[in-house]
Amino acid sequence: MTSLEVIRGDITTLTVDAVVNAANPGLLGGGGVDGAIHRAAGPALREECRRIAAAREAGGAGAACPPGEAVITGAGRLPCRRVIHAVGPVWRGGGGGEPELLASCYRNALLLAEEAGLESVAFPNISTGVYGYPKDKAAREALAAVRETLPRAPGVRRVVFVCFDGENYGLYRKLLA
């Protein structure tokens, strides 16, 4: 059985195999958890993201990483081994496919972790900051997506939901109780 855990804190401090970043489609670093991850990881991570973004944009894919998709990189100076950059949807009322795109972030991040042989993965509460996704919906959908995907990611033994704010922490505590 894979363990599903919730902790309250700063995801940049965790010694897990992979930390998931709530990235933006350009992979260039922004505010919130993305900014915290890039600040803590240092310039090597930014440079790797820049290279991936340039290659993908040159390949005609449009955005380097469209909402719902994810890419994996090294982790620079972070204590984890890899960073998985997943781009969440911006909340626009829920009728624009947001639930499927949010689920897709969690699913693709777990499948990348599986492919890379990573056993422990920490997720932030994707889209619930600047992107405005209602926290209760996001928490339920994130958990459902993770539970649905785990059978296809048998190497992932531990999933940690890292909540920075008290509201998300309370929601996850309740849902995982």
Q: Which residues are catalytic?
A: 34
Q: Which listed residue (2, 162, 169, 171) binds ligand ADP by CB under 6 A? A: 162
Q: Which is nearer to ligand ADP, 6 or 113 (CB)?
A: 6
At its nearest, how many Å lie between ligand ADP and the CB of residue 130? 4
Contact map string, positions 34 to 73, toward ligand ADP, x by CB under 6 A: x-x-------------------------------------
Q: Which is nearer to ligand ADP, 87 or 110 (CB)?
A: 87
Q: Which listed residue (73, 104, 120, 127) binds ligand ADP by CB under 6 A? A: 127
The residues, any chain, with a CB within 8 Å of residue 22's CB and separated by 6 or more, are 32, 33, 34, 86, 87, 88, 124, 125, 126, 127, 129, 131
- Residue 83 and residue 10: Cα distance in Å, rounded? 15
Kindly indicate which of the ranges 5-13, 62-70, 77-85, 109-117 contains the residues binding ligand ADP, using the contact rule CB under 6 A.
Answer: 5-13
Q: How distant is the alpha carbon of residue 58 from its chain centre?
A: 24
Interface with ligand ADP (CB under 6 A), residue total: 21
User: CA–CA distance from 64 to each of 35, 48, 70, 122 (Å)?
Assistant: 18, 13, 10, 23
